[in-house]
């Protein structure tokens, strides 16, 4: 089965600066890597995902990069805003081809005004 490691566990950045969260995975056959955002007291929601056939994907201020050789992927948030404050989780499929996900431990991101 898959194992996902995420770091840092907490991250504090100044508003307007960039934030980077990194994850590593163990199963080289994994081919789908989503990122979920969970605001305080709310449900986790998908913000971006990447499949193994591409190395990078962007959506406005958010981007995800994937390095299959090194088995790691990263979330990049640029021009951070107060509403970016949340816990972010990376994930990978529980088993090859499965929809079910193994999540990283989460990163609590705080944006300081």
Binding site for other proteins (CB under 8 A): 32, 34, 36, 42-46, 49, 89, 94-95, 98-106
Strands 72-77 and 62-67: antiparallel
Query: Whose Cβ is closer to other proteins: residue 26's or residue 81's?
Result: 26
Minimum distance, C-beta of residue 27 to other proteins, in the bound complex (Å):
14
Query: Whose Cβ is closer to other proteins: residue 15's or residue 39's?
Result: 39
Query: Whose Cβ is closer to other proteins: residue 9's or residue 81's?
Result: 9
CA separation for the pair 21, 101 (Å, rounded) = 18
- How far from the centroid of its chain's Cα atoms is residue 91's Cα? 7
Residues making up the chain, counted from first to last: 113
CA separation for the pair 99, 64 (Å, rounded) = 20
Minimum distance, C-beta of residue 93 to other proteins, in the bound complex (Å):
8
């Amino acid at each position: 089965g898959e194992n996902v490691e995420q770091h840092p566990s907490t991250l504090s950045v100044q508003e307007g600066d960039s934030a980077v969260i990194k994850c590593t995975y163990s199963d080289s056959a994994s081919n789908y890597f989503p990122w979920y955002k969970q605001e305080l007291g709310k449900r986790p929601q998908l913000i971006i995902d990447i499949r193994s056939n591409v190395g990078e994907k962007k959506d406005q201020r958010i981007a995800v990069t994937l390095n299959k050789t090194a088995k790691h992927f990263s979330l990049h948030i640029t021009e951070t805003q107060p509403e970016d404050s949340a816990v972010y989780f990376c994930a990978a499929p529980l088993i090859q081809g499965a929809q079910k996900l193994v999540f990283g431990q989460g990163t609590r991101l705080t944006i300081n005004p």
